[in-house]
Every structure is written in structure tokens, then in C-alpha cells.
Amino acid sequence: MSDSAAPIKFFEKKERVFPKRVWGKYRKLKWAVMIVTLAIYYLAPFLRWDRGPLAPDQAILIDMPARRAYFFFIEIWPQEVYYLTGILILAAVALFFVTSLFGRVWCGYACPQTVWTDLFVWVERIVQGDRAARMKLKKAPWSLGKLWKMALTHSLWLLIGLLTGGAWVFYFNDAPTLLDEILHLHIPTTTLGWILALTFSTYLMAGFAREQVCMYMCPYSRFQSAMFDKDTMIITYDEDRGEPRGKHKKGESWDGRGHCIDCTACVQVCPMGIDIRDGLQMECIACGLCVDACNNIMDKVDLPHGLIRYDTTHNQEERIAGREEKNINTHILRPRTFWYMAILSVVGAVMLYSLVNRAPLDLHVLHDRNPLFVTLSDGAVRNGYNVKILNKAYDDKYYRLKVEGLDGYTIRIQGAGDVTPDNLHVFADSVGHFRAFVTAPKQNTARKEIRFIIEEVGEQGAAEMQTDVYESHFASSNH
Amino acid sequence: MSDNQVEKDAVSGVETTGHEWDGIKELNNPAPRWWLGVLLISIIWSIGYWVVYPAWPTLSGDGERGGTKGSFGWTQYSQLKESQAEIVARKAAYLDRFNAASFDQIKTDEELYAFAVAGGASAFKDNCATCHGTGGTGSAGYPNLLDDDWLWGGDVNTIHETIRAGVRANHDETRFSEMPAFGEMLSGQEISHISDYVLSFSSGAAYDGEGKDLFEMQCASCHGEDGKGIRDFGAPNLADAIWFYGGTKGDIMSQIRQPQHGVMPAWEARLSESTIRQLAIYVHSLGGGEE
């Protein structure tokens, strides 16, 4: 190493990416997906779903104070949070499945980070102009004009952030009521906290962090390659056709040279700031904007589309080997996709089955530990139990509590009023808590397995009555 | 290299501190800017703390605790007082109704009943659990409050009275009884006979001995001829499956010869009437409560 060598830089300063405006098939698709996803996000909380007079009528609602989550016909209690695990497994496997077929299209079109970044870049372009103007403005010294443009950009970003955070809280409250409260500035502190937190995280992530979230924060971009194989659709640059690249003047021959005219349009439009001609890279989110940019250029120089395109590595290899493209099997059904589909079907079926068969009644019995049992004057033994009856139906119910596996027992319910084991009243959509004393003759074992049975009590001949059982035990002195 | 020239690291171009360990030299890199910024902001922020919160001790104070008061007069003491006042206020909504209601009314009012059981459970653990156990099961010499065997009676009014005035306690209306020490009056043989007879009440075995006459002469006035006890005297039922001081023949003989007598304090002076009423309802709810 010579003495004049520049000192090693341990950290490279990040260059800001200024994506250029582009128009084409994939750009249109991106706008369409953005409009649909944002519309879902902003409007979904206002959808109504009738559940009767005793439950909220919001279609999608996470009701924290009441510990309930609603999704159209589904209602989930806190102890059923495993449904969430199921949804997450479904979402993950669906993502793997789509990735193995079409590459990172989730990243390129539907991921909130991409959608909001795209929206923020659009704002930036409307206010400050296209790529060249924005780069010039960044380098320009501070002036009134620059200050005004910057202030407007950031204000609009913050406004979008505010709407984003504002929409988020509607999923946790009755949306029309909360909207009314917000418009009258009667905002609960917690709600305000969430709105502000999401406003600033949106502002930060979509305004500043942008592609760095995908590169450094998101784990998915790091393990996406595990889902890729040579039949996965990825953004490809046709090196065989494009190289050797070089400038091209109108009327010049294309003989002996590649079709890439090195205009760098694909680089300028890339929101990740990469050169796709270097091959598939970790940064590539498969948004296809470079495809649009290159096709527009190919139109201008009268060459066919597809120098940059969605393609599989397999296809490319076949083409280079000189085989005809139409004969190439793209292998949509292959072991990898088959397994993803199989997992999706199995998990989906299990979820559907358990949701359809979700019991509207649940019984839990907790045996007393202090003391395990009480000996009575006549030598009989009494055990205490905390009985919880979960009535998940939307109307009040009465239940009968019985014990199976214990001879000569009596049940007494301890509590105010005249509650008997035959008329346990539980309100709609709530948990009834009862103290039950079970008395039986002294047993010859210290622990006898018994079953509590709960039966819905209703009019004679009414539709099927719900029942549930709970395994418990009856303790007794064994000497 | 002259003395006043600072050595520079050849690779990174950063000055070294001159410290060297096993050939590794420490570079004199400054702390990162953002880190320094956060430190400075924290220091400025802390000045705000001094102003807003009580922070600096002073030599003269208002006796208990001297120091700067903070701009809003906030202290942890006042915060504690506030939250305690909040609990009192929350309880007050029920307490007034609870105090005005009779035991019969409370028994039919779900809300008041739950309030009483919760309040009683808490007071029980503070005051009663030492002797009666956290589960209320007692132990030898300390009655089990869960079973259906009561020395002085198990309806809620009687339980209330027992808690209020205590047993053999320092209270004018306390419950009082004393079993004589028969060891001074009867021979060991006689006491053995009586014990056999007492055991026959609960075992159901036929008894044909001297114990029956002795029991009826010495014991029946308090425990009854059938041995079922008399609650007016706090005399235990000897015919059931529950033994206060133990159920072996040895235990029974020992109790006849030289009886033990437990003491329960009177709680009237220590707990409020309201708390005693909550305790009575709680104990009544444990399973053995009588109507």
C-alpha cells in the first residue's frame, strides 16, 4: 500500500435515490394496486356487519377494553388468539407460494412500505418536479423558493401520515363515533398517542428511510432467495441480446452490437437505486418499473420489447441454448409450489373447520387448592370449585351443572340470591363465574376423576341445546 | 517522530491515543455526533426536571422533608395519597349502601354480596389468616371455618357477634366458657372410661361400660346426653366426625384431664363495624354458613 492511499472509509454515506417518472404496463398496475390497497385500508373500518343489539356492528374491529376481535362473521375471544397464529401461518405460506412463482411481487406492489413510499415520491414529484429537478434542488443553496417547496413537501407527507395514523385507530374503536369525536377534537389520549406515533413512523419510513427499510430492516428481503428457483419469475436483463452495450445513433446498424443503448433509463426509474443489468440483486423488489422504462426506449429505437422483462432463469437458459421459447415449460407445478399449496390447503382447512365448529359455549372448572377438601360433621367430604361458563352467543342463557363419575353427590352454588345448579344465568357474550360446592360421601381414594357437565336449559323442544364437559377431580382424605 | 507530533494510524488516518496493548493501538475517534447530541439534550432535559419536580435537598425544610418543591408541588407522597383517595372514593359508592343494608338484604343483592365477599377476603388475610390459615381451614386448636361444625353458631349474625366480641377475650360481651380440669376430680381409670364412651358417639359402636354413667353425671350438662354439644356454652359436638383438639383416645383423655382453651381477640376495637360485617359474610360464604 502506498503512502498516498486514501484512508479506508468504514461507513459509506448513503446516496439518496431520486426515482424518475415512468409510464407503462407495470406502472399502471402499481397505481391500481395502490388505489385498491389504500382504499381498503382507509375505508374498511366503516363497513358494518349486523350482530344483533348486544354486540358491535363494525365488520372489522379489535375491541381492546372488551377483549374481543371481530372480523365479519368471525368473533375471537382472547383465549382463541391461536386463530391469529393460523392467519399468520397462512399469510407466510401464501407469501412463499407467490414468491416461488412470481418473485417478490409482494415487495414491489402490495407491501405498505412500497405503497406509502410510492405515494410520498409522487408528492415529491408534484411539488419539486421530476428526477433532474429534485437533484438540482437538493444541491441548490437555500432560498425562499427551495424553503417553500421543501416545507410544502414535508407538510403533505405529514398530512398523509396523519391520515394513515388516523385510519389505524378506527380499527380499534367504533369508526363513525370516533370520527365524530376526532372532528370535534374530543380525542382520547391513547388514541391521540397512536395517531401521532403512526403519523411520525409513516413520515419517517416513507419520507426518509424508504428503500433502506427493505435493505436493512426487513428480514424478508434477506431470506427471499430461499424461495427462488430457476422457474421463478424474476426481473431479468437479457444479457445475450443486450451486450455489448453502447450509445446508438439513429440509422446506425445494430449488427455486431447489443440492443442496450446504455441510456440508464432503467437505473433512473429504480426506486431501490440499483442497476438491474448487473443481474438479480437482493435490493430488487420486482416492481417492474425498469421494464416499463426500457420498453419505452425500445419503442423509440424500433426494437422489440423485453430487453428487461419478467422471466425465469430457466427460460433464459433455454433461449441462449437456441431452443424455441414457446416450447419452454415454465413449470408452474413443481415440488416447491406443490408443497406450498399443500400447506396452504391443510392450514386453511383446519382453520375453516375450527371456525365453523367453534362452540358457542365453553366450560372451565378450577378445583380449590386451599383446602383440597373439607370433612363435614357426618363424615362426608366437600370440595370447592370455581366454575366459569363462557357464553359466546349473542343472547342470555341458562345452564344446568352436573357431575359425572361421583355417586351420591350434591351441588350447591354459593352466591347472592337463589342460584341453584339448575338455573345458572350467564349474560350474552360474557363469562359467568360461580362458586360450586360438591359434597359426596367419603371416597376411598385421595383423588377421584370426575367430569363436570354443563347443559343449556331452554324451552322444551327448542333447537339443539349446547353442552360442554370439563375433566376435574374430587379430593378426599384417604385414611 | 518528535515529541509534540501526534501519531496517526496508517490505515484509517485517525490519531492514536498513544495507548498500546499487545501491539494494538487505541484510536482517538470522537464519540458519534448523534450520541453526543442525545447526551447534551438529556442534560438540558434534566434541568427541566429540577424545575418541575422536587429535586434539591435544602438544609431548612418543613420538618419532615426539606427541599425544592417543584413548580407543581408534585411529590410521590401526594401521588400515593391521591390514588388511595381514589380507592376510598370508589369504595364509598358501595360502602354507604352496604352499611345501610341488613344481612338479609345483602344476601339477595349480587353487587353488595360480591363487594362484601371481596372486602372480607382481603380483611381475612390481614387479620384472621394468622390463626385460621389463608384458606380458613384452621389447625388443631384453631377452628376450621369451612366445615359445618360450629362452636358458637354458624349463621351470619352469630359469626358477626363472635368476630365482634371475641372468645375469652378482653371484652365485656365476649363469649366465655371454661371446661373444668377433670384430672383433679376423676381418676385416670374413670377418664379412660369416659373417653371410650365419647368415641362411641361417632363410631356408632355399642357401648356398655362405666363411662356412660360418668359422662351423664360430669359432662352432659354442657355437652348434652347425646354428646351433640350445646352452642350456648360453646360446648363442642362430640358425636360428629370433626375434632377440635384431636380425635384419638389419648387426645380426648388429655382434653378431659387438663383442657386447653383457645382465645380469639375481640375485633370491635380494631376493625370498623363495616369490616366486621364484611368478614362475617365472607366467613359465612366459605361453605359452612348456616341460615
pLDDT in tens, B5-49: 778 888 878 888 888 889 888 888 888 999 999 999 999 999 999
Distance (Å, whole) CA A263 – CA A83: 52
Distance (Å, whole) CA B236 – CA B260: 13
Cis bond upstream, residue A441 (ω within 30): no
Q: From A129, A185, A183, select the one nearest A152 (Cα to Cα).
A: A129
Say if CB A427 and CB A396 are below 8 A apart.
Answer: yes
Q: Is A4 on the interface with B (CB under 8 A)?
A: no
State pLDDT tens for residues B243-257.
999 999 999 999 999
Q: What is the band of B267 on the pLDDT scale with cuts at 50, 70, 90?
A: very high
Residue A53 has pLDDT above 80, yes or no: yes
Q: How many residues does this entry show for chain B?
A: 291
Task: Return phi, psi of residue A58, to 5°.
Answer: -90, 130
Report chain B residues whose CB lies below 8 A from the CB of A368: 135
Cell numbers linked to A155: 407538510
Q: Tell me what pLDDT residue A479 has.
A: 61
Residue B45 lies in a domain: no
Q: From A128, A134, A202, select the one nearest A165 (Cα to Cα).
A: A202
Mean pLDDT value across residues A51-61: 89
Report chain A residues whose CB lies below 8 A from the CB of B134: 370
Cell numbers linked to B24: 494494538
Q: Is A2 on the interface with B (CB under 8 A)?
A: no
Q: Tell me what pLDDT residue B23 has.
A: 85
Cis bond upstream, residue A371 (ω within 30): yes
Across the interface, which of B107, B137, B237 has its CB nearest the CB of A416?
B107
Say if CB A172 and CB A62 are below 8 A apart.
Answer: yes
Residue A176 has pLDDT above 70, yes or no: yes
Contact A414 B287 (CB under 8 A): yes
Task: Please give, rounded to a whole number of angstroms, the shortest distance from the CA of A373 to a CA of chain B.
Answer: 10
Task: Please give, rounded to a whole number of angstroms, the shortest distance from the CA of B248 to a CA of chain A.
Answer: 14
Interface of A with B in 309-368 (CB under 8 A): 368
- Report all structural domains of chain A as residue ranges with CATH numbers, in order of start: 25-85+112-218 (no CATH), 361-475 (2.60.40.10)
- DSSP for A226-247, please give it: GG--TTS-EEEE-HHHHPSP--
Residue A315 has pLDDT above 90, yes or no: no
CA distances from A346 to A96, A339, A342, A355 (A): 15, 10, 6, 14
Q: What is the band of B65 on the pLDDT scale with cuts at 50, 70, 90?
A: low
Q: From B165, B148, B163, B144, select the one nearest B245 (Cα to Cα).
A: B144
Contact B146 A371 (CB under 8 A): yes
Q: How many CB atoms lie within 10 A of CB B227?
A: 20
Residue A326 has pLDDT above 60, yes or no: no
Distance (Å, whole) CA A386 – CA A367: 7
Q: Tell me what pLDDT residue A2 has.
A: 45
Task: Please give, rounded to a whole number of angstroms, the shortest distance from the CA of A375 to a CA of chain B.
Answer: 7
Distance (Å, whole) CA A346 – CA B290: 58
Say if CB A430 and CB A414 are below 8 A apart.
Answer: no
Across the interface, which of B114, B137, B285 has its CB nearest the CB of A371?
B137
Q: How many CB atoms lie within 10 A of CB B217?
A: 10
Task: Please give, rounded to a whole number of angstroms, the shortest distance from the CA of A433 to a CA of chain B.
Answer: 11
Chain B residue nearest residue A372, CA to CA: B135
Task: Please give, rounded to a whole number of angstroms, the shortest distance from the CA of A450 to a CA of chain B.
Answer: 21
Report chain B residues whose CB lies below 8 A from the CB of A437: 287
**Angle formed by the axes of helices B273-285 and B156-165, to 10°?**
130
Say if CB A104 and CB A224 are below 8 A apart.
Answer: yes
Task: Please give, rounded to a whole number of angstroms, the shortest distance from the CA of B151 to a CA of chain A.
Answer: 12
SS3 content of chain A, % helix, strand, coil (to 5): 45, 20, 40
Residue A91 has pLDDT above 60, yes or no: yes
Task: Please give, rounded to a whole number of angstroms, the shortest distance from the CA of A170 to a CA of chain B.
Answer: 31
Q: From A318, A353, A312, A317, select the one nearest A336 (Cα to Cα).
A: A312
Across the interface, which of A7, A376, A384 has its CB nearest the CB of B13?
A7
Q: What is the band of B180 on the pLDDT scale with cuts at 50, 70, 90?
A: very high
Distance (Å, whole) CA B51 – CA B53: 6
Q: Tell me what pLDDT residue A1 has.
A: 41
Q: Is A384 on the interface with B (CB under 8 A)?
A: yes
Percent of chain A past pLDDT 90, that is, above it, reads 62
Q: Can you give the CATH number for the domain in which B208 is found?
A: 1.10.760.10
Distance (Å, whole) CA A277 – CA A274: 9
Q: Is A374 on the interface with B (CB under 8 A)?
A: yes
Q: Chain A to chain B, count of Cβ pairs less than 8 Å apart?
A: 61
State pLDDT tens for residues B183-231.
999 999 999 999 999 999 998 889 988 999 999 999 999 999 999 999 9
Percent of chain A past pLDDT 70, that is, above it, reads 95
Distance (Å, whole) CA A405 – CA A454: 14
Contact A377 B242 (CB under 8 A): yes
Task: Please give, rounded to a whole number of angstroms, the shortest distance from the CA of A458 to a CA of chain B.
Answer: 23
Mean pLDDT value across residues A304-312: 90
- For the entire predicted model, the pTM comes to 0.75
- Chain B residue set in contact with A, beta carbons under 8 Å: 11-14, 106-110, 112-114, 133-135, 137, 144, 146-149, 237, 240-242, 285, 287-288
Lowest mean pLDDT among A118-122, B75-79, B122-126: B75-79
In our burial notation (b when 16+ CB lie closer than 10 A, e otherwise), range A318-346 reads bbeeeeeeeeeeebeeeebbeebeebbee
Report chain B residues whose CB lies below 8 A from the CB of A416: 106-110, 112-114
Strands (E) located in chain B: 16-21, 24-27
- For chain B, give me the number of helices (H) and strands (E)? 11, 2
Say if CB A211 and CB A271 are below 8 A apart.
Answer: yes
Site from A9, A367, A374 to mutate, B interface, most B CB atoms within 10 angstroms: A374
Q: From A386, A367, A377, select the one nearest A436 (Cα to Cα).
A: A386
Bin A103: left if φ > 0, else alpha if -120 < ψ < 50, else beta: left
Residue B99 lies in a domain: no
The maximal CA–CA distance of chain B, rounded, in angstroms, is 120
Chain A residue nearest residue B285, CA to CA: A414
CA distances from B110 to A68, A434, B98, B182 (A): 26, 12, 12, 50
Across the interface, which of A374, A382, A416 has its CB nearest the CB of B113?
A416
Report chain A residues whose CB lies below 8 A from the CB of B247: none
Across the interface, which of B109, B137, B240 has its CB nearest the CB of A378?
B240
- Beta-carbon contacts of A217 under 8 Å, excluding residues fewer than 6 positions away, are A209
Mean pLDDT value across residues A119-138: 93
| Cα A438–Cα A440–Cα A445 angle in degrees, nearest 5 | 110
Beta bridge partners of A435: A386, A414
Q: What is the band of B1 on the pLDDT scale with cuts at 50, 70, 90?
A: very low
State pLDDT tens for residues B131-157.
999 999 998 889 999 999 999 999 999
Residue B238 lies in a domain: yes
Residue A394 has pLDDT above 90, yes or no: no
Range of the domain at B253: 182-257
Report chain A residues whose CB lies below 8 A from the CB of B240: 377-379
Residue B216 lies in a domain: yes
Question: What single DSSP character describes residue B184?
Answer: G
Residue A254 has pLDDT above 80, yes or no: yes
- DSSP for A324-391, please give it: -GGG----SSSHHHHHHHHHHHHHHHHHHHHHHT--SEEEEEEE--SSS-EE-TTS-EEEEEEEEEEE
Q: Is A271 helix (H, G, I), strand (E, B) or coil?
A: coil
Say if CB A284 and CB A104 are below 8 A apart.
Answer: yes
Q: How many CB atoms lie within 10 A of CB A11?
A: 5
SS3 content of chain B, % helix, strand, coil (to 5): 50, 5, 45
Residue type for position A178: L
Mean pLDDT value across residues B109-119: 94
Task: Please give, rounded to a whole number of angstroms, the shortest distance from the CA of B110 to a CA of chain A.
Answer: 5
Complex prediction ipTM? 0.81
Q: From A19, A17, A14, select the one nearest A266 (Cα to Cα).
A: A19
Residue B103 lies in a domain: no
Residue B233 lies in a domain: yes
| Cα A411–Cα A413–Cα A417 angle in degrees, nearest 5 | 140
Contact B114 A376 (CB under 8 A): no
Question: What single DSSP character describes residue A48?
Answer: B
Residue B191 lies in a domain: yes
CA distances from A60 to A9, B24, B76 (A): 51, 61, 42
Distance (Å, whole) CA A392 – CA A54: 11
Q: Tell me what pLDDT residue A362 has.
A: 92
- Beta-carbon contacts of B23 under 8 Å, excluding residues fewer than 6 positions away, are none
Q: Is A8 on the interface with B (CB under 8 A)?
A: yes
Residue B112 lies in a domain: no
Distance (Å, whole) CA A364 – CA A425: 16
Contact A7 B12 (CB under 8 A): yes
Say if CB A402 and CB A455 are below 8 A apart.
Answer: yes
* Number of domain units in chain B: 1
Average pLDDT, chain A: 89
Q: Tell me what pLDDT residue A24 has.
A: 92
Residue B68 has pLDDT above 90, yes or no: no
Q: Tell me what pLDDT residue B279 has.
A: 97
